[in-house]
Structure 1
Amino acid sequence: MTARYAFLRSRRWVGIAVLTVLVAAVCGLLGSWQLARHEYRAEAIARVEANRDQPAVPLAQLLPDPTTEVGDDLEWRTVTTTGRYVGDPVALPQRGVEGGPADHALAVLEVPGPDGERWLLAVDRGWYPTDAFTDPTDRLALPDGDLQLVLRLRPAEEPSDRQQVPGQVHRIAPEQVLAAAGATAGPGTLVTTAYAWVVEETPTTANPPTPMTVPSPNYRSNLSYALQWWTFGLLAFLGYAVLARRERAAMDRDEGVAPAPPRPRSRRRTDAEIEDAEIEAQASETSSA
């Protein structure tokens, strides 16, 4: 450190230096956190895409038991089954889709389990735009009789502690969907650990809800956030250097020290100047000859 910048040893500037290091360290930690989120989301999306693209298999092959957990290896997997809807349709209000307001149409599906068992599976048949002035009855209506279905597995949601409204639920918790539908498990068994999105149902109604699609989130945003935080950390040191130079310049003005003259900047000659120089050189050679 030169004598001109000896003021940086003062208590005030030591405090500024410590603050700069702390800000840079926090920015570095936040950048590392965003990078970790980027890597985690990249792995999660890779699993989603791998499960989504696997061929459909019978439901009982992936859910041999009504308490089978739908983890990373099963979520988004496609299954086929036969079945029929039981009970009344159920609405899941105010759960947006792709940034827009939407309600979901839920139902309870009776499907055959292993060894002739009767299972009840909560399903999300799709969504329709939220509109207080439109009657959604036709979007919630259930097809009658036996159906051929293609489903996508999802883990069951935790029950909601909000007061239940008849015919509605606030989360896709199988027990609450069953109660809202007015269905009864009877001799059958409710699948408590999973529900399913309906990809296809044959036959269906005249105006069915729009099927849900597997989301494709943009996980690269976390990487850009990490780079931004690291850039902010570098800018903290740059800001410290700029403040130090300004402090030195202010001290020089107070002491009457003239600022150093700016270095002359080399200017690139224009084409016209180059051409004039060549003409002058040729004229000089001619006159000397």
Structure 2
Amino acid sequence: MYRFLLTPRWLGMFALTLVAAFAMVQLGNWQLDRYRDRSAINERIDASERATPVPLSTVLSAPAGGVGTAGPAPASTDAWTRITATGRYDPENVVLVRGRTVDSRVGFEVLTPLVLADGTAVLVDRGWIPPAPGGATAQPEVPAVPAGEVTVVGRVHESESGAGTVDRRNGLLETRRVAVPRLAEQLPYPVYGAYVLLDEQTPAADPLFKAVSVGHANNWQNLGYVVQWWAFAAMSLFGYGWVARREARRAAGGDTRPLDRAAEPDPAPTG
């Protein structure tokens, strides 16, 4: 009954179905890897909220280049590690990162270099502030940095991709993305290859700053794609089997006409 499956046409259909199903299974596996990676990131974010901070130098490699260079980027497994560092803020090189949203309001994140005892610096995201009256891009009045030595506790944030221009306006650097290597070019000291998202500061931070929340990766979307691709693979195999079974039943009933009705000649007109 199923000898027709050995014909070139049906063998070709079977091969095509297997290739399509295999490709869809592989796409599902790729999304499964993405789900696992993003789940691991979310676990590190959650764990960092409760972790005891460790010295900055135990997580990030110190910059070895000269002025205007950035150190090595952290390993992906070190992102979101809670660290502590002590130094002095540099008020001459404050960075405003525009177009940032907190509580549905668009404003600025304020990054300030913390210059350490060895002369290197790490960029510290001190928090979000609203723009000045006049629009979302109106440059705000930035709270002054604490005088003297400052100790910060925060989480390591990887440098952002898509580096844009860095401009200086009214004595402040402005950018759209926190691209550490690009920002380092504007600074008079070597800079660590990641920045720190501030959790705590001694002396206390100005109350105008709002904490920048850490967004979790949308791992459930990837899991949905896994189910989708694997379902498509199963449906393609089921569809082949269903068509083959219908062909076998048609042949067993003595109907030798092709399944493709469009290939049949038009019936002769009557009347």
After TM superposition, the score normalised by the length of structure 1 is 0.64
Relative to structure 1, the CA distance from residue 136 to residue 170 in structure 2 (aligned partners, 3 Å threshold; closer, same or farther) is closer
Relative to structure 1, the CA distance from residue 80 to residue 223 in structure 2 (aligned partners, 3 Å threshold; closer, same or farther) is same
Q: Which 5+ residue runs of structure 1 have no aligned equivalent? A: 257-289
Query: 1:122, 1:33 → 2: CA distance?
Result: 35
What's 1:151 paired with? 154
Deviation digits for residues 218-275 of structure 1, max 9, x if unmatched?
A: 434433432332222121121112223444566648569xxxxxxxxxxxxxxxxxxx
- RMSD between aligned residues: 3.8
Superposed displacement of residue 168, structure 1: 1.4
What's 1:243 paired with? 243
Superposed displacement of residue 83, structure 1: 2.7
Relative to structure 1, the CA distance from residue 159 to residue 221 in structure 2 (aligned partners, 3 Å threshold; closer, same or farther) is closer
Are the equivalent residues in 2 in contact too, given 1:85–1:107 (CA < 8 A)? no
SS at match of 1:93: strand
Are the equivalent residues in 1 in contact too, given 2:91–2:144 (CA < 8 A)? no
Moved more, 169-178 or 239-248: 169-178
What's 1:71 paired with? 75
Q: Relative contact order, CA 8 A, sep 6+: which one is greater?
A: 2
Residues 32-111 of structure 1: pairs in structure 2 closer than 5 A: 32-59=29-56, 62=59, 65-67=62-64, 69=72, 70-72=74-76, 74-76=78-80, 77-94=82-99, 102-111=106-115
Deviation digits for residues 140-180 of structure 1, max 9, x if unmatched?
A: 443342344323223445783x4443331243244643566
Deviation digits for residues 178-225 of structure 1, max 9, x if unmatched?
A: 566xxx63xxx43242321122344433522x2223333243443343
Relative to structure 1, the CA distance from residue 248 to residue 163 in structure 2 (aligned partners, 3 Å threshold; closer, same or farther) is same
What's 1:177 paired with? 183
Moved more, 119-128 or 244-253: 244-253
Identity of aligned residues (%): 25
Query: 1:154, 1:78 → 2: CA distance?
Result: 11
Task: Answer 1 or 2: which has greater helix percent.
Answer: 1
Query: 1:118, 1:126 → 2: CA distance?
Result: 24
Largest Rg, 1 or 2: 1
Deviation digits for residues 17-58 of structure 1, max 9, x if unmatched?
A: 222111111122222222233333344444444445321245
Q: Which 5+ residue runs of structure 2 have no aligned equivalent? A: 65-70, 258-271
Query: 1:110, 1:255 → 2: CA distance?
Result: 83
Residues matched between the structures, number: 240
